Amino acid sequence: MKVIVGWSDTPGSAAAVVWAKDLVARLGGEIRLVHAVSTFPIATYEGVTEVARMFEAAMAAQSERAKAACDSLKASGVTASFVVDHAIPADMVLREAESWQADLIIVARREMGRIGHLILGSNSAHIVRRAKVATLVVHGEPPTDRPLGVLAALDESPSASRALSLAKTLWPAAHFAAVTVTDEGCDPPLACVKAAGNVPITACAGSPLEVFGTRARDGVQDVFAVGRRGLGFFAELLMGSVSERVVALAKGAVLVVP
C-alpha cells in the first residue's frame, strides 16, 4: 500500500504519520511525506531577492525536518520518502498522489474553534473533494489499547459500499457497524443490506446530512467511513456535502472514498 501523508511539523501531522505507520506496518507498502512551502506575491520588485532567500531557508528547514521524520520511520522498519517543494499544499498533495499512484491520502484535520463545526480547512476540503483515491482525515492518534470502532454510512451508491469494503481491508480487526437513512418505519434498502454483509446495520429516518452528521458528532466510533459520490449529479453534490459535514463534525477519523 502506498500512502501519502500531507505533512508539516505539527502535532496533527504527527498523528497522521502514526496512522500511516500503523497501516504500512501491518499491510506492507511505503509512506511518502508531502510538504508544500506556500508561495504567493508578498514583495515589490526590490524585495524579490530577499523573498527568494526566505523561501529557500524555509525549504531547507522543512526538508531537514521531513528527512528526520522519514529517518524515524525507516528506523522502525517502514519504507518512507519525502517531497518538499514550493506549491499550494492541497494541489501538491493531489499531484503527488496521482503521479506516485498512491492508494490512500492521510491528512490531519485543522482545528478551527467553534466555526470548525461548520467548515473544513481549505486544504483538507479541497483534497476531500478532488482526490481520485480514498482520503483519511484524522483527528488525533488511533487508539492502541483496543480494536478500532468503525461506523460506515451506507446509501445505495457504489462509493458507500467501497468505503466500507476499504475500511475492512485497512482495519480487519476493527469492530464494525453501519447506518443508513430511510423513511420513518422502513427497513434498510436491500442494496445497503447487501453492502453491509455481516456488519450490523441500523436504519434512521431523516436527511443524510442530519443523520450522518449527528452520528459523526455524537458517536463513539474511531473511524467514520463514507462515500463521496451519490447516484447522479444532484446526489453526488449531496453526498459531497455529507462527506464534508462528517469530516467537519467527527470526533475521530473519517475515511472518504470516491
Instruction: Return the pLDDT at 49.
Output: 61
Going by pLDDT thresholds of 50, 70 and 90, the confidence category of residue 67 is very high
Give the ranges where the chain is alpha helix by DSSP (H): 11-27, 48-75, 89-99, 122-130, 158-170, 190-196, 208-218, 233-249
Bridge partner list, 5: 33, 106
Q: How large a percentage of the chain has pLDDT more than 90?
A: 59
Domain boundaries, the chain: 2-138, 149-257
Which of the 8 DSSP states describes residue 185? T
Q: How far apart are CA 76 and CA 14, in angstroms?
A: 15
Instruction: Return the pLDDT at 239.
Output: 56
Which of the 8 DSSP states describes residue 205? E
pLDDT digits (tens, 9 = 90+) for 149-160: 999 999 888 999
| Cell (9 digits) for 129 | 473533494
Q: Is 210 helix (H, G, I), strand (E, B) or coil?
A: helix
Q: How far apart are CA 7 and CA 81, in angstroms?
A: 12
Instruction: Return the pLDDT at 251.
Output: 87
Range with the poorest average pLDDT among 28-42, 88-102, 177-191: 28-42
Burial class, 244, CB count within 10 angstroms (exposed 0-12 / middle 13-18 / buried 19+) = buried
| Fold match, 2-138 / 149-257 | yes
39/3: higher pLDDT: 3
What CATH number does the domain located at 149-257 have? 3.40.50.620
Going by pLDDT thresholds of 50, 70 and 90, the confidence category of residue 244 is confident
| Cell (9 digits) for 216 | 459523526
Q: In the CATH scheme, what architecture does the domain 2-138 have?
A: 3-Layer(aba) Sandwich (3.40)
pLDDT digits (tens, 9 = 90+) for 83-133: 999 888 899 999 999 999 999 999 998 654 444 433 345 688 889 888 999
pLDDT digits (tens, 9 = 90+) for 134-173: 999 998 999 999 999 999 999 888 999 999 999 999 999 9
Going by pLDDT thresholds of 50, 70 and 90, the confidence category of residue 48 is low
- Averaged pLDDT score across all residues of the chain: 86
Q: How far apart are CA 226 and CA 241, in angstroms?
A: 11
Q: How far apart are CA 24 and CA 151, in angstroms?
A: 22
Q: How far apart are CA 154 and CA 64, in angstroms?
A: 43
Query: What is the average pLDDT across 165-185?
Result: 94
